[in-house]
């Protein structure tokens, strides 16, 4: 997709949530999606979640090398209903409820052929400059990156599959075994979802820390998850006390805060794993000697690859309740207010969503 531009008088248009420039969002007409190709589907967008990256583009105008230089449609956490299918599509039908994976790799790239398409340098990801996102009534999307939702999941929960896929990918790379003790640094959306995914994957105890205890409210339904108020207790100290000085089998760094790395290597057990999920906005120091002394295995996570089917299955199971994580839902016309709330970063908010359908 091309960046959102003003339509000509001859083009069919639809309203979209457009980031015009830093600190300026408008709901205004953009060109409607093109015709459906043989391997694509047309989708009526129902719900779109606001991600921290969307908010960061709104407040800062850039994330690392990705700079908003032209107007861009926001949004990449989406669900909807299939309106039209291409001639070659057999696994989806009109009326199917779906969620959409927002990152499209070059299928012929070396990364894609190795199954690591998330690190393909040519990947085109919704709402990452210069690619438009999906906060508009309809999108045309490759059928191979469109997934039917089971009856157990609502469309609102379907829009949460995208961030949940990050958590599932992280837990998969962690290689959690039944009975493992897990620690999670940061109780933002990804941290909370990682704690839930780790619990559902067999962790016996999950200790999660944050400086805003209001964030723990959404985890009350999970008795194996133990909140740690980082203003009062150090996570590494709590974990050592709980494990007789041994440490956590797996530690997830999900805050992206450079200060979290100061005691990060004190938390894992010898032979344990540290999984870096949060992306720091500034360089961090890495205590290699401390990691070596415990022979800690270090894994890194960038989005996800081949995680959507597993995330959908897990979200539909009785052990996960994604609906509980939705803090507020705004109508499409109030999208600007939704982003303003996202920029406030209220401590109790986990996920803010915008309902596009049924306006």
Q: Which tens digits make up the pLDDT trace of 177-202?
A: 999 999 999 999 999 999 999 999 99
Q: Determine the pLDDT at residue 40.
A: 98
Q: Determine the pLDDT at residue 359.
A: 44
One fold for 13-160+322-355 and 166-300: no
Residues 6+ apart with CB under 8 A from 150: 312, 316
Q: Determine the pLDDT at residue 119.
A: 95
Q: Domain map of the chain by residue range?
A: 13-160+322-355, 166-300
Pick the CATH number of 166-300 from 3.40.50.300, 3.30.230.10, 3.40.50.720, 3.30.420.40: 3.40.50.720
pLDDT tens-digit profile, the chain (359 residues): 555 766 665 679 999 999 999 999 999 999 999 899 999 999 999 999 999 999 999 999 998 889 999 999 999 999 999 999 999 999 999 999 999 999 999 999 999 999 999 999 999 999 999 999 999 999 999 999 999 999 999 999 999 999 999 999 999 999 999 999 999 999 999 999 999 999 999 999 999 999 999 999 999 999 999 999 999 999 999 999 999 999 999 999 999 988 888 889 999 999 999 999 998 878 888 889 999 999 999 999 999 999 999 999 999 999 999 999 999 999 999 999 999 999 999 999 999 999 998 64
Q: Determine the pLDDT at residue 7.
A: 64
Q: Determine the pLDDT at residue 5.
A: 66
Q: How far is CA 61 from CA 24, 254, 322, in A?
A: 10, 23, 30
Indicate the angle between helix axes 189-200 and 161-174, nearest 10 degrees.
60
Residues 6+ apart with CB under 8 A from 108: none
- DSSP secondary structure letter of residue 217: G
Pick the CATH number of 13-160+322-355 from 3.90.45.10, 3.40.50.150, 3.90.180.10, 3.30.1360.120: 3.90.180.10
* β 77-85/351-355 pair status: unpaired
Q: What residue ranges in 33-185 does DSSP mark as E strands?
A: 40-49, 62-63, 66-67, 72-73, 77-85, 97-100, 103-104, 124-125, 138-142, 146-148, 181-185
Q: Determine the pLDDT at residue 283.
A: 84
3-state secondary structure of 166: helix
Any idea which residue has 């306006």 for tokens?
Answer: 359
């Amino acid at each position: 997709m091309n960046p959102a531009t003003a339509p000509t008088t001859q083009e069919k248009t639809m309203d979209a949530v457009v980031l015009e420039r830093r600190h300026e969002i408008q709901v205004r007409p953009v060109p409607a999606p093109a015709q459906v190709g043989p391997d694509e589907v047309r989708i009526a967008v129902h719900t779109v979640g606001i991600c921290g990256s969307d908010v960061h583009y709104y407040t800062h105008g850039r994330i690392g090398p990705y700079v908003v230089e032209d107007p861009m449609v926001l949004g990449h956490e989406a669900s909807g209903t299939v309106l039209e299918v291409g001639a070659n599509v057999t696994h989806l039908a009109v009326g199917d409820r779906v969620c959409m994976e927002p990152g499209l790799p070059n299928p012929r790239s070396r990364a894609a052929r190795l199954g690591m398409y998330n690190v393909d340098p040519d990947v085109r990801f919704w709402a990452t400059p210069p690619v438009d996102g999906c906060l508009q009534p309809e999108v045309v999307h490759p059928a191979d990156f469109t997934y039917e939702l089971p009856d157990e999941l609502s469309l609102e929960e379907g829009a949460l599959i995208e961030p949940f896929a990050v958590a599932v990918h992280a837990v998969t790379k962690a290689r959690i075994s039944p009975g493992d003790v897990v620690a999670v640094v940061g109780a933002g959306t990804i941290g909370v979802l990682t704690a839930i995914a780790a619990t559902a994957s067999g962790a016996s105890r999950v200790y999660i820390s944050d400086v805003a205890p209001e964030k723990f409210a959404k985890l009350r339904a999970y008795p194996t998850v133990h909140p740690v108020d980082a203003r009062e207790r150090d996570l590494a100290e709590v974990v050592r006390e709980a494990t007789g000085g041994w440490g956590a089998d797996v530690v997830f760094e999900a805050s992206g805060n450079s200060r979290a790395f100061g005691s990060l290597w004190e938390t894992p057990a010898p032979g344990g794993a540290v999984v870096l999920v949060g992306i720091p906005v500034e360089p961090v120091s890495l205590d290699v000697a401390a990691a070596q002394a415990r022979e800690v295995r270090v894994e890194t996570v960038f989005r996800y690859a081949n995680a959507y089917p597993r995330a959908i299955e897990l979200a539909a199971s009785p052990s996960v309740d994604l609906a509980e994580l939705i803090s507020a839902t705004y109508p499409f016309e109030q999208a600007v207010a939704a982003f303003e709330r996202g920029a406030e970063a209220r401590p109790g908010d986990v996920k803010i969503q915008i309902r596009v359908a049924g306006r």
